[in-house]
Amino acid sequence: MAFPFAAIGLGLSAISTGASIFGASQADSAAKKAAEAQYKYSTKAWKMGKRRLNADYRHSKKGVDISRQNEETLGAWKDSTNLQDWQYQLKIQDFEYATQMRQYAKSEQLYGQQLSYNNLASQAAREAEMRRLEDSTNEIAFQNQDIVIKAMEAEGAAAVKGQQGRSAGKADQAVLASLGRNQAILAESLLSARGETQAALKKIAADKFGADIAAEAARMLMPERLPRPPKPLTTPRAVFQDPRKPRRFDYGPKPIMGAVPSSMPGAVMEGLSSLAGGIAGFANASKSPNMQIPSYKGLTGLSSASNPLAGSISLSR
The whole-angstrom separation of Cα 110 and Cα 118 is: 12
Mean pLDDT across 65-74 = 96
Percent of the chain with pLDDT over 70: 65
Structural domain for 104, as ranges:
5-221+263-295
Residue 316 lies in a domain: no
Lowest mean pLDDT among 90-99, 101-110, 142-151, 213-222: 142-151
Among 24, 46, 36, which residue's Cα sits nearest to residue 258?
36
The whole-angstrom separation of Cα 87 and Cα 229 is: 10
Among 256, 268, 252, which residue's Cα sits nearest to residue 19?
268
What confidence score (pLDDT) does residue 150 get?
72
pLDDT digits (tens, 9 = 90+) for 230-273: 999 999 999 999 999 999 888 888 888 876 544 444 443 444 44
Residue 254 lies in a domain: no
The whole-angstrom separation of Cα 250 and Cα 52 is: 12
Among 20, 33, 42, which residue's Cα sits nearest to residue 256?
42
What confidence score (pLDDT) does residue 167 get?
56
Q: Answer positive or negative: Cα dihedral of 69, 71, 74, 75.
A: negative
Q: Residue 22 in contact with residue 268, Cβ under 8 Å? A: no
What confidence score (pLDDT) does residue 52 get?
94
The whole-angstrom separation of Cα 174 and Cα 182 is: 12
Residue 304 lies in a domain: no
What confidence score (pLDDT) does residue 10 get?
57
Give DSSP secondary structure letters for 196-254: HHHHHHHHHHHHHHHHHHHHHHTSPPPP-PPPPPPPPPPPPPPP-PPPPPP-GGGS-PP
pLDDT digits (tens, 9 = 90+) for 140-188: 787 777 777 777 766 666 655 555 545 555 656 666 666 677 777 778 8
What confidence score (pLDDT) does residue 136 get?
83
What confidence score (pLDDT) does residue 99 get?
95
Residue 184 lies in a domain: yes
Residue 172 lies in a domain: yes
Mean pLDDT across 50-72 = 95
Average pLDDT of the chain is: 76
pTM: 0.51
Distance of alpha carbon 294 from the chain centroid: 101
CA distances to 146, 147, 150, 181, 274 from 153, rounded to whole Å, are 10, 10, 5, 17, 196
* Domain tally, the chain: 1
What confidence score (pLDDT) does residue 162 get?
52
Q: Comparing 114 with 264, which gets the higher pLDDT?
A: 114
What confidence score (pLDDT) does residue 184 get?
79
Residue type, 174: A
pLDDT digits (tens, 9 = 90+) for 183-221: 777 788 888 888 888 999 999 999 999 999 999 999 999
Max CA-CA distance within the chain? 237
Residue 189 lies in a domain: yes
Q: Comparing 50 with 298, which gets the higher pLDDT?
A: 50
Residue 305 lies in a domain: no
Residue 302 lies in a domain: no
